[in-house]
Homo-oligomer: A and B are copies of this chain.
Amino acid sequence: MIDCNAAIAALDWSKEPQGLYAPIAYALSSGGKRLRMQLVLAGCRLAGGNEQDALPFAEAIEVFHNFTLLHDDVMDRADVRRGKPTVHVKWNDNTAILSGDQMLIEAYHLLESVPTQHLPQLLKLFTRTATEICEGQQYDVDFEQRDDVQIADYIEMIRLKTSVLLAAALKGGAIIGGATEAEQEALYNYGIHLGLAFQIQDDLLDCFGDPATFGKAIGGDISCNKKTYLLLSALHRANPRQYSELHRWLELTEPSAEKIEAVKALYIATQAREAAEQAIAEHTAKALECLKVLPQNSETHHLEQMALSLAKRNA
């Protein structure tokens, strides 16, 4: 089995000018689970392919993902990523913009090495996915200013911003592994539901997680009035009294422990928390359903376990 962290660490960024490439090496060195890369390789193995054939596509997906993090951190003014200063803090905004651009170009450079017969299809899949992720990021920005965001809008936003990359990772691997079109689509849809369950779980953990395991302060989304699945559900489900109470708290923009506790209580009282847990269960079930059309082997079993463990994760 390919060691994803080792494969990413083996990419050579020692070339000149280092002002361009050192920030790329830095952005890719902070590790993480390399989840998307793993999904490419799993999709390939599941379809009976040799995972080595899927390595360039897996690397392209991983470099692309880290490019989006780099530019998102500039736009969000995020100072820390995985315990380390972000690129625009360690260097500056211009470096983060230009080295980020080059990372996106490097992702396409890696695509040149995919099996030639699959190049046109993988290029299209990659570019469509990249486009959807930018669209998702734009919707996320737009939602901050909008008062009419519905739960369905939110689901579509996180589908674009988070799910399609997991889905495309699996599908790309499956294409390289020689899967049928039906299998490719099943894996793609599994990835979509996995991503949705993952993101809604993230919203729950931000609010109800254990600070000891979650790694971030609890209630960050509440403090900045982020339109999460929980907030949109609570607004949708609240009775008039709960609705106006929630709105009073939304008007408070300073950090407040009292606000966090009060809004959490409203999420419970309006059953928004239950609705979120149910949505996670539904998307997990749909993800598992997608796996049924696939060859039942140890890889399929692994994806099954991944969906099930996601619904129980606490970090």
For chain A, give the interface size range: 35 or more
A17 x B112 contact (CB < 8 A) = no
The reply on A131 being an interface residue by CB < 8 A is yes
Q: Residue A142 at the B interface, CB < 8 A? A: yes
A130 to B120 CA separation, bound complex (whole angstroms): 20
A101-109, A165-173, A174-182, A246-254: which lies at the interface = A101-109
Q: Are B142 and A101 in contact (CB under 8 A)?
A: no
Do B119 and A105 touch (CB < 8 A)?
no
In the bound assembly, the distance between CA atoms of A128 and B102 in angstroms comes to: 11
Which chain B residues lie closer than 8 Å to A124 at the CB level?
112
Q: How far is the CA of A168 from the CA of B196 in the complex (A)?
A: 42
Chain A residues 14 to 58 lying within 8 A of chain B, measured CB to CB, are: 16-17, 19-20
| Chain A, 34-90, CB within 8 A of any chain B CB | 71, 74-75
- In the complex, 27 of the A-B residue pairs with CB atoms within 8 angstroms, ordered by the A residue number, are A17-B135, A17-B138, A17-B142, A20-B134, A20-B138, A71-B97, A71-B101, A75-B94, A75-B97, A93-B93, A97-B97, A98-B134, A98-B141, A100-B101, A101-B104, A101-B134, A102-B134, A105-B134, A106-B131, A108-B127, A109-B128, A109-B131, A111-B123, A112-B120, A112-B123, A112-B124, A123-B123
- 5 pairs of A and B residues whose beta carbons are closest in the complex: A20-B138, A75-B94, A102-B134, A17-B138, A105-B130
